[in-house]
């Protein structure tokens, strides 16, 4: 079968290649899935460089998450051939077949196609775990979402709006503002360059943000410490800017806010019942038509390079989804 292999770590994708490899053999407890769609996440790009916190040894098959049809499963797994499932196991999604433990899979929401399901998974569970589970977001809260054109950022905007929060989206790319506004329908889209606190203060009538959701870090994080309301939360989601910010601990004390670290995948592994409840809540919202994952481009897996390069160039509004075969 065809699979996208990271043969060796590289900064420029030169170690990545689409190759014919032996199909996975399902082990007991695993489910064998015919992958119909698989979405690209920032960690996939980082893993080609060895820059992600999880560092699989090369060679490995790339791809955090997929959606597809069950081919084989143990009877006790609760899955049967033909079931439509979504999930993933950190690597192995960018291939025609994937075999993963049954607890890494959940049913595709009714009425949702495979590309949308592949695009929804990790982005929405990250957004939900951050905003709802840890952030205790309430209706009417002001939520400031950085990197709003990204998979996780757009999901956070979409979810927060669906749950009745007031969203201010930020982007570092002025040309993306209109597309973010059309897809995420926030109260406003502002630029995250330089000093954006005044814009946040104006939009919120001086209140500032109850939750800041920050996948970008660096200078954006630094300015965000000036944008959190008293009693609010500044959520550390990622570092797409490439810089992990430092903060003096007197700042959250004086301003009365909390810094919350988010690790959505690890949270679901440590608290499997909560992880399942989060997936179920997202599925209900999707089935009710309240949330819609945004896909920037749908590509055959043979065009994997276009997707990876667009992500590295920061040239996306929404997810890249690959279709193998
Ligand atoms: N904490 C968790 O549990 C968790 C789970 C999943 C993902 N993550 C993290 O969340 C982050 C976003 O992941 P994603 O899959 O949504 O990525 P993505 O689709 O590539 O989006 C990242 C966004 O970050 C912004 N950005 C700002 N500076 C950037 C730079 N120098 N290079 C590239 N992008 C830059 C861009 O938005 P603008 O152009 O609009 O500014 C970009 O669209 C990653 O750091 C990832 O590791 C965390």
Mutate to test the pocket of ligand 1, among 145, 215, 311 (most ligand atoms within 8 A of CB): 215
What is the 8-class DSSP label of residue 107?
Answer: E
How much of the chain is helix, strand and coil, in % rounded to 5? 35, 30, 40
Spacing, Cα 197 to ligand 1 middle (Å): 21
Q: What is the mean pLDDT of each run of 10 residues along the chain (325 residues)?
A: 98 98 96 98 97 96 98 96 97 98 96 98 98 98 98 98 98 97 97 97 98 98 98 97 96 98 96 96 98 98 98 97 95
The residue whose two tokens read 């301003």 is 255
Mutate to test the pocket of ligand 1, among 129, 146, 150 (most ligand atoms within 8 A of CB): 150
Q: Whose C-alpha lies nearest to ligand 1, atom 44?
A: 238
CA distance 292 to 257: 31
Nearest atom of ligand 1 to the alpha carbon of 41: 15
Q: Can you identify the CATH homologous superfamily of domain 2-108+294-323?
A: Medium-chain alcohol dehydrogenases, catalytic domain (3.90.180.10)
Beta-sheet strand order (sheet of 2-6): 16-20, 2-6, 60-61
Question: Does ligand 1 come within 6 angstroms of the Cβ of 122?
Answer: yes
CATH code that applies to domain 127-265: 3.40.50.720
Spacing, Cα 43 to ligand 1 middle (Å): 9
Spacing, Cα 30 to ligand 1 middle (Å): 31
CA distance 231 to 207: 11
Spacing, Cα 153 to ligand 1 middle (Å): 7
Are 42 and 53 in contact by the 8 Å Cβ rule? The answer is no
Question: Does ligand 1 come within 6 angstroms of the Cβ of 68?
Answer: no
Mutate to test the pocket of ligand 1, among 238, 271, 278 (most ligand atoms within 8 A of CB): 238
Query: Left, alpha or beta for 159 (phi > 0: left; psi -120 to 50: alpha)?
Result: alpha
Q: Is the pTM of this model over 0.85?
A: yes
Question: Does ligand 1 come within 6 angstroms of the Cβ of 157?
Answer: no
Are 144 and 200 in contact by the 8 Å Cβ rule? The answer is yes
Closest-CA residue to 145 (of 136, 154, 135): 154
Backbone angles phi and psi of 10, in degrees to 5: -155, 155
Nearest atom of ligand 1 to the alpha carbon of 123: 6
Residue 101: its H or E element: strand 97-101
> What is the CB neighbour count within 10 angstroms for residue 248?
9
Question: Does ligand 1 come within 6 angstroms of the Cβ of 304?
Answer: no
Residues in a beta bridge with 73: 31
Q: Residue 325 has what pLDDT?
A: 86
Spacing, Cα 86 to ligand 1 middle (Å): 22
Tell me if 2-108+294-323 shares its fold with 127-265. no
Please give the angle made by the CA atoms of 157, 298 and 295, to the nearest 5 degrees: 10
Residue 36: its H or E element: strand 30-39
All structural domains of the chain with their residue ranges? 2-108+294-323, 127-265
Spacing, Cα 237 to ligand 1 middle (Å): 9
Whole-number Cα distances in Å, 211 to 67, 139, 143, 221, 255:
31, 12, 5, 13, 14
Are 226 and 197 in contact by the 8 Å Cβ rule? The answer is yes
Please tell me whether residue 76 adopts helix, strand or coil conformation.
helix
Give the DSSP letter string of 199-216: HHHHHTTT--EEEEEESS
Q: Residue 265 has what pLDDT?
A: 94
What is the 8-class DSSP label of residue 91?
Answer: B
């Amino acid at each position: 079968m065809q699979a996208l292999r990271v043969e060796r770590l590289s900064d420029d994708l030169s170690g990545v290649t689409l190759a014919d490899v032996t199909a996975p053999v399902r082990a007991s407890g695993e489910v064998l899935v015919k992958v119909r769609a698989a979405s690209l996440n920032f960690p996939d790009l980082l893993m080609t460089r060895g820059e992600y916190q999880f560092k699989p040894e090369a060679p490995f098959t790339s791809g955090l998450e997929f959606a597809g049809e069950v081919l084989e499963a143990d009877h006790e797994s609760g899955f049967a051939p033909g079931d439509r499932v979504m999930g993933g196991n950190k690597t192995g999604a960018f291939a025609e077949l994937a075999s993963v433990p049954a607890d890494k899979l959940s049913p595709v929401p009714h009425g949702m196609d495979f590309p949308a399901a592949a695009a929804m998974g990790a982005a929405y569970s990250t957004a939900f775990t951050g905003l709802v589970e840890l952030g205790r977001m309430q209706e009417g809260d002001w939520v400031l979402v950085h990197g709003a054109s990204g998979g996780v950022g757009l999901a956070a905007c979409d979810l927060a709006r669906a749950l009745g929060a007031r969203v201010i989206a930020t982007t570092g790319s002025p040309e993306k503002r209109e597309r973010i506004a059309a897809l995420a329908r926030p109260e406003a889209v502002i630029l995250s360059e330089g000093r954006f606190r005044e814009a946040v203060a104006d939009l919120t009538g001086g209140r500032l943000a109850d939750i800041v959701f920050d996948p970008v870090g660096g200078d954006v994080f630094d300015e965000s410490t000036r944008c959190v309301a008293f009693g609010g939360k500044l959520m550390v989601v990622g570092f797409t800017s490439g810089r992990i910010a430092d903060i003096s601990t007197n700042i959250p004390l004086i301003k009365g806010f909390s810094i919350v670290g988010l690790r959505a995948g690890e949270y679901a592994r440590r608290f499997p019942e909560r992880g399942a409840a989060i997936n179920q809540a997202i599925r209900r919202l999707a089935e009710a038509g309240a949330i819609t994952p945004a896909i920037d481009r749908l590509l055959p897996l043979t065009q994997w390079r276009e997707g990876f390069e667009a992500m590295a160039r920061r040239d996306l509004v929404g997810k890249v989804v690959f279709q193998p075969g």
